[in-house]
Every structure is written in structure tokens, then in C-alpha cells.
A and B are shown apart, each in its own frame.
Chain A
């Protein structure tokens, strides 16, 4: 099956003051056409790093690619011509929704300037072709068409009075409105994939659901795929077709949303789902702590905190095992599975 986005065995190290942190260890995941995939994990598990690796904006000095590939529409983004990637992929075929909309706009320019600057290079009507010749020309015709498209998209994300809104400065909008603007900007270039990094984490809880529903509606309408990261299972449940669980830089389980919530196989996934506060007042958290990535546990990185761990788990990383056609788990002892443990 030709997926839209196919990450294979991606390993990334970060050079820090405390040593070399192995932030990503052999991550693989797929995103299909028109599919919304959620990347779930605790803070520090590497999901933001993965998102940035796909977009190609890892900090050049500190981050080191140890291996793996990121295939998008067949081509490996990590090894393609950087200029071409910057011109034709970033902001066009793959767009981005950042975590904090308040700081993701330049505070000194009106919203219109910033969006139209984006359109100048990334509008679907912008000329493709030779990536090396910078195209600063912005013909008036195209400008007008693009502006119309902007207004229309602003209406779609439910920004009131789009024409007036454009002339405002970013700080004059509320957090929720700014994120809607971000969604609009992510949709305008007519992308194939949107990478959204915890898009609702910075918003008030009351608005989060609204924004999520809006996003899902719009992407389903246009058949755009989404890879979005979150630490909140509720968000994942709201938005995703498929869910991938990460822990300490390793992918643990990948399953369609309903299967994920109904029949989780990986011990970590089960713990994660169990730790969501219920009405009973009991708090069931996971004992132990997230491991240091500078000296991570060998083999499966969850084994120190896992109830079902055996020496096998420390010896080596489990290979991906398909429990069902689209339910994959990396565990030596998946729960309720043939050869695994009982719940």
C-alpha cells in the first residue's frame, strides 16, 4: 500500500550539556491519504521531535540524524535536495500547525501581511518549477484571487468579518481565534498533509473541543491527511482515525482509534488508558519515571516500569507484530494476544 507519508526506522540524537540524548529510536509510522493519525505520548517522549524531523526543521547544530528515512509521496525528504524540499514540500504539500498560536505570529505585522506573504510563495496558484530562482513577483491578478481564497478560508474557520480581521494585529485576537487563523493558513496552500504539533494544548479547555471538531471537519471535507501530536487521549479520541503511541522515543503500538480504545495490546497503552481520571476518585498512575534519554534502558524502553517484563524485554527491542491488518504492536508480551499475556 503506498502511503502518503512513510517514516521508517528514524533515529535522531540531540547533543545536550548532559550528553547525547537518543531522542528517537527507530521510529516507524505511516499516514495514509485522507487519514488523521494521532501521535500520542507523554511530554518528552519525542513526538515534537518527530514532527519537526518530518518537517525538516530540527536545530541544525544540536540534532543529529542517526538513520532512517522519511518518505513522502515516494521520495525521501531527508536525502532530497534541500532547496527543492523547502520550496515545493514545506508550506505546500506539507503544512504546519504550531502548538502556541500566540507566539507563532510576528507581533509587529498585521495578519494580512503575514498571510499574504505566505500566499505569495505557497498559494496553489504560485508557479512551481525552478526552485532556485526566487519568485518575488506577485502579479496583481494572482494577489486578488489569493486574497479571495484567504477570505473564504477565514469564513470556513469561522473568523467573523474576515476582511476587517485581516487588518488587525495578531495580539488583537483571542487564543482560539489565532489557532483558527493557523488552521486557515495550513489549509490555504492546498496541502496533502498537515503536521499539527499539540494544536490545542495552549488553548482553554472549553475551546479545545471546538477547534478540534472544526479541524476534523475541514480536513475530511478536503481529503487532507493529518499527523498530529498530543499528550491528551481525549483529544486523540475526538480527532483521529488511527493512533500511534510513543514512549521515550520508541513507537509502541499503532491501531485504528476504536480498536485502540477498546482492545489496547501494549502494556504501556493499557496503563495510559487506565490513568485517565475516572469519576471514582481513584488515581492510577504508572509507577516509576520517564527514563533519561542520554542513558536509556536497553531493549524496550518501557521494561523498567512494565508489569509483564522479562529478561527478553531488556535484551532487545521487540519486532513489530501485526495483531490485525492495521493493528501493530512492538512488544514481547502484548496483552490478550496469541503468545502474549492475559489481561
Chain B
């Protein structure tokens, strides 16, 4: 019941926050540029044509009216049309969403499966060689520019060693589109060669994206485990001779993870952000490149669409994180 109350509370804030976001982006896209319509019309358009276009697009009306109409359309699921692709933006986003999600999920999975155990070992064998090595990784993970890391990985693994393809999501034909996720579709249709190829294409971008996430996870898991190691219940279990594996991987980890769960949720949001730049480096056909291209092409509607989508995702992720936090630590049922 409390959970429901929390969810509702969050959803209530969802709307004003999203609205605020819309206002900000709207203002940016309509007010600041000298003349967005002229940009759209192109360089060869005559002033008369520009005016005609302005009337057509509705840019001649008062700003609040324009905003109201945009918001109304948005509620009905219409984000407008991309000036560049001439398709509904919702369609563009939906088309590119699976690529970004696949990349982000793979990066997330890798960083969790590798990062959490490494964090545990780092704490258990404090000040060992492994711990110091991991400290280096952790610190550098947040200091390396993602796009540079991606380029360096390309340099080494794709160009010099030739182990992985250089960029893109896949060469040749994609597997039958069941879900839009190449890995899933290839597995479902037993298309093993495509599955392998898709994995190879995913390798570098996922590694680039996962690196800072992994660094953060190792750091927080380590801190969490170190903290838990001092607990009285750990002392009790040791006194009663319970096997070390049980104490560490069932009890200590569970307690240490209560803070890590929040981190994972936040990381997902940060990963989606990092995906923007990483996708640009690897020519990954996802929402990130769409956003960057739209921005560079002054396709403001598309930029708005992307911002709305990104904002919504962030807010939903935060909500899920709060819910997950409550589930993981049953003592922490929030009372707001």
C-alpha cells in the first residue's frame, strides 16, 4: 500500500517536472535562434515563401499559444514532424529506440556482473594487489572522456588488431525483426552467425559505455561491503561458524547492496546520457545519434521530442529506483 502511495506521489510530480522541461526546451528552440523558420525554409527561399511557411507552421502566433498547441499535441502522442526526415518524430524515436536500449542494457549488465563481484573482492582483500589495481580503475573510470575511450578502443581493437568491427550496429542484413533487439531476434530465430556478428559490433561501444558505470559500481560496492563487514550480524555468523561464502554472498552482499541499488538506477539514467556521445563515436543508429544530428541540423522539433523522451525516461527511472529501494530494504518504507 505504501508502495502505491509512493508511486502516485512520484507520478504527480512527473507532470509538472515534464512540463517545466518542455517550457525550457520550447523557449530555447523558439526564442533564441534568430529565425527558426528561415532555417527551415532554407537559403534559397524568398521572404514571401518564408512568411508563408511561418503561417503554415503556426510560428506567427503568440508563443504561449504555440506552446499550448504543442503540449496538447504531445498529450495525444504527437511530437510533430522532423524537418529533416519528414517523418513523425515519434516514429523516428521508436525506430531508433531498440538500438539504444540494447546498447545500454548490455553495458548495464556487463558493468553489474563484473563490477559488483569486483567490488566485493576489493573489500574482502583490502589493500591487496587487486584492491589497489581496482582503485586505479575506479578513479580513472570517472576521469576518462567517454568519446576518447571509444576512439582509443577503436584504434586498438578495430584498427590495429582487427578483432572487432569499427562501428555500426551490424553489417549486412539484420535478423527478422521480432523485437527490434538484434541479440534477441537472432537468438529467437537461431541465427547464430548474426548473433555473433551483433555481439562483436556491440563489444566496443558497450565496453566504452560500461567503463564509467563499472568504476562507480566497484567503488560503491566496495564501500558498502567494507561498511557491512563491521556489522554485528556478521560477527555473530562468524561466531556460529557459518561458511564464509554464505556470509559474504548472501548476507553481506544483500546489506551492502541496499545503497548499490540506488546507484544502479541512477547509473541507468547516466548511461542513457553517455550513450549520446558514445553513439556518435561508433555511428550507432540509436536515439543518441538522432539527438546529436537533430541538434546539429537545427531540427528543433526533433530536439524537443528527444528532450521530452529523455526527461520522461529519467523520471520513470528515478521512480523505479525508489520502488526498488523500498523492496530491497524492507525497513525503509518511506513515510512521505
Contacts and interface: CB of A to CB of B under 8 A. Distances in A.
11 contacts: A52-B239, A87-B241, A92-B241, A95-B240, A106-B251, A106-B255, A107-B329, A109-B251, A122-B241, A122-B242, A169-B331
Interface string B235-257: 11011111101100011001100
Nearest to B258: A108
A169 B330 contact: yes
A85 B242 CA distance: 11
B231 interface: yes
B232 interface: yes
Interface of B: 231-233, 235-236, 238-243, 245-246, 250-251, 254-255, 258, 328-331
Nearest to B235: A57
A90 B241 contact: yes
Contact of A108 (B235, B246, B255): B255
A96 B233 contact: no
A108 B328 contact: yes
Interface of A: 52, 55, 57, 85-87, 89-92, 95-96, 98, 100, 103-109, 117-118, 121-122, 134, 169, 171, 185, 195
B241 A107 contact: no
A96 B243 CA distance: 16
Given A92-B241, A104-B236, A121-B241, 16 more contacts: A55-B239, A57-B239, A85-B241, A91-B241, A91-B242, A96-B236, A98-B239, A103-B232, A104-B232, A105-B236, A108-B254, A108-B258, A121-B242, A122-B240, A134-B243, A169-B330
B-side interface mostly: helix
B79 to A, nearest CB: 43
Contacts of B250: 117
B9 to A, nearest CB: 24
A134 B245 contact: yes
A195 B232 CA distance: 16
A87 B238 CA distance: 11
Contacts of A89: 241
A195 B236 CA distance: 12
A104 B242 CA distance: 14
Nearest to B240: A91
A86 B331 CA distance: 32
B255 A96 contact: no
Contacts of B245: 134
Contact of A98 (B236, B242, B328): B236
Contacts of A122: 240-242
10 shortest interchain CB distances as A-B pairs: A90-B241, A91-B241, A91-B240, A103-B232, A96-B239, A104-B236, A106-B233, A86-B241, A104-B232, A55-B239
